[in-house]
């Protein structure tokens, strides 16, 4: 009712590092440059010299008063417990329901879910819950990316309810790139929450919550401790950004587990099947690929076949690491190649699943 008092507890005051353009309380973000420079401002990241911020447990209450997980989330938790889950970054064109359906059909049956989130080249997307419903209708489970850049906490709470109604299998909570990066620098950045507080809110609504961590982004030594705070906030799964291959990922997971992190890990597997997808992945923040991976693919006689084979091999290597419960086929298509990219992801997914069963 307009003007009525809120049933939610007052939000914890933002006490983030001074000068952070994203007003992060539980920073730093994953966009810190390898040099330590802020992702957007011309100074060092404000969190570089600070200890990881402890989660203080200010969970916002669900105004609907129930936290039953969406059925798709319960099923996904069961699949994660078994291991060998394959997720695919979703490549459809933004705001194009036909492209979405075609790519979903191409991936249906070959991967466990698709991860559909933000795009630096297409910031305007269908809202996450609407995409989740379209994906579900097209036959694939939706693991939806939600960022704190474009919506304040009230809009995000509405999105949480809609995602549950739409049957999202998972919700991937990120702070998000600053609006200064990407296709809509004219938009005002919101950052009312950050990834940790967004994870807590989504978890309090029963969602299966994932977060991202970038092992190679400064301050490298405190990334595992920051992940522990995200777990305390309610995250159950960590997508591990491209970190150079299995050994850096293994080392990061070991350090996190030694601190008490028990969540499942899903490393990103770079999918490069043509020059367009190579260009796109080069634009990822904090990108580190295994030595020779990119050029080994691009110099092959059959780039697509080499890219599919390389991603399948790397995925299977990741899946041998203790704590890894799945892999994310990560990347995106060159312009106009959305369906071809989805078909390549489906081939990789099928190959990985067949190898695990053999
Ligand atoms: S790099 Fe990210 S966390 Fe650090 S100051 Fe900049 S926006 Fe904030």
249-303 pLDDT per residue, tens: 999 999 999 999 999 999 999 999 999 999 999 888 778 999 999 999 999 999 9
- Which of 23, 27, 50, 213 best tests ligand 1's pocket when mutated (most atoms within 8 Å of CB)? 27
Model pLDDT for residues 97-131, shown as the tens digit of each residue: 999 999 999 999 999 999 999 999 999 999 999 99
pLDDT at 271: 98
**pLDDT category, 61, cuts 50, 70, 90?**
low
The finding on whether 50 has its CB within 6 A of some atom of ligand 1 is: no
Helix %, strand %, coil % of the chain (to 5): 40, 10, 50
- Domain contains 6: no
Has residue 134 been placed in a domain? Answer: yes
pLDDT band at 353 (very low <50, low <70, confident <90, very high): very high
Determine if ligand 1 sits within 6 Å of the CB of residue 24.
yes
Percent of the chain exceeding pLDDT 90 equals 89
Task: Please state, in angstroms and rounded to a whole number, the distance separating the CA atoms of residues 10 and 59.
Answer: 10
Q: Report the nearest atom of ligand 1 relative to the CA of 48.
A: 4
CATH code, domain carrying 123: 3.20.20.220
> Which atom of ligand 1 lies at the shortest distance from residue 30's CA?
2
Does residue 218's CB lie within 6 angstroms of at least one atom of ligand 1? no
28 lines ligand 1 (CB under 6 A): yes
pLDDT tens for residues 145-159? 999 999 999 999 999
What's the pLDDT at 57? 81
Residue 5 has pLDDT above 70, yes or no: no
pLDDT of residue 7: 38
Domain of 301, in residue numbers = 71-357
Within a domain: 242: yes
21 lines ligand 1 (CB under 6 A): yes
Number of structural domains in the chain? 1
Cis? peptide before 221, omega within 30° of 0: no
pLDDT at residue 3 tops 50:
no
Question: Does residue 307's CB lie within 6 angstroms of at least one atom of ligand 1?
Answer: no
Q: Above 70 in pLDDT, residue 187?
A: yes
Mean pLDDT of the chain: 93
Ligand 1: distance of its center to the CA of 195 in Å?
A: 12
pLDDT digits (tens, 9 = 90+) for 194-235: 999 999 999 999 999 999 999 999 999 999 999 999 999 999
- pLDDT surpasses 70 at 326: yes
Q: Does 286 contact ligand 1 (Cβ within 6 A)?
A: no
Classify residue 7: in a domain, yes or no.
no
Q: Decide if 52 is inside a domain.
A: no
CA 179 to ligand 1 centroid distance, Å: 13
Our mutation pick for probing the ligand 1 site, out of 14, 21, 175, 195, counting the most ligand atoms within 8 A of Cβ, is 21
pTM, two decimals, is 0.94
8 Å CB contact between 54 and 229: yes
Query: How many Cβ atoms sit within 10 Å of the Cβ of residue 354?
Result: 10
Rounded to 5 degrees, φ, ψ at 114 are -115, 145
Does 292 fall in a domain? yes
**32 ligand 1 Cβ < 6 A:** yes
Give the per-residue pLDDT at 10.
34
CA pair distance 318, 325, nearest whole angstrom? 9
User: Does 23 map to a domain?
Assistant: no
Q: What integer pLDDT is reported at residue 63 of this predicted model?
A: 60
pLDDT of residue 283: 84
- At residue 82, φ and ψ (nearest 5 deg) are -80, -35
| Domain assignment of residue 51, yes or no | no
Please work out whether the CB of residue 29 comes within 6 Å of at least one atom of ligand 1: yes
Over residues 168-192, the mean pLDDT reads 97
Whether 16 shows a pLDDT value over 90: the answer reads no
Question: Tell me: the pLDDT tens digits for 235-263?
Answer: 999 999 999 999 999 999 999 999 999 99
Count Cα neighbours of 291 within 13 Å in the Cβ-side half-sphere.
2
């Amino acid at each position: 009712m307009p003007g009525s008092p809120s049933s939610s507890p007052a939000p914890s005051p933002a006490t983030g590092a001074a000068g952070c353009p994203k007003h992060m309380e539980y920073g730093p973000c994953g966009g810190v440059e390898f040099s330590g420079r802020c992702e957007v401002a011309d100074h060092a990241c404000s969190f570089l010299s600070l200890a990881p911020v402890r989660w203080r447990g200010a969970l916002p209450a669900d105004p609907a008063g129930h936290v039953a997980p969406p059925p798709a989330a319960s099923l996904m938790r069961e699949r994660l417990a078994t291991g060998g889950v394959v997720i695919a970054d979703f490549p459809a064109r933004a705001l194009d329901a036909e492209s979405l359906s075609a790519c979903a059909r191409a991936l249906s049956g070959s991967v466990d879910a698709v991860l559909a989130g933000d795009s630096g080249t297409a910031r305007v997307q269908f809202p996450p819950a609407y995409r989740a419903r379209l994906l579900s209708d097209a036959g694939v489970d939706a693991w939806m990316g939600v960022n704190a850049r474009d919506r304040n906490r009230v809009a995000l709470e509405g999105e949480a309810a809609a995602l549950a109604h739409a049957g999202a299998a998972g919700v991937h909570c990120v702070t998000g790139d600053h609006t200064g990066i990407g296709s809509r620098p004219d938009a005002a950045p919101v950052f009312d929450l950050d990834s940790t507080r967004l994870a807590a809110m989504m978890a309090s609504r029963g969602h299966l919550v994932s977060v991202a961590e970038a092992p190679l982004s400064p301050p490298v030594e405190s990334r595992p401790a920051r992940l522990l705070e995200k777990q305390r906030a309610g995250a159950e799964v960590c997508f591990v950004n491209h970190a150079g291959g299995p050994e850096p990922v293994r080392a990061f997971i070991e350090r996190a587990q030694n601190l008490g992190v028990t969540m499942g890990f899903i490393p990103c597997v770079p999918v490069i099947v043509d020059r367009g997808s190579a260009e796109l992945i080069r634009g990822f923040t904090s990108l580190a690929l295994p030595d020779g991976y990119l050029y080994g693919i691009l110099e092959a006689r059959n780039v697509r076949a080499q890219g599919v084979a390389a991603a399948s091999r790397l995925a299977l290597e990741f899946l041998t690491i203790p704590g890894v419960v799945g892999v994310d086929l990560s990347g995106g298509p060159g312009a106009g190649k959305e369906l071809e990219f989805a078909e390549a992801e489906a081939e990789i997914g099928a190959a990985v699943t067949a190898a695990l069963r053999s």
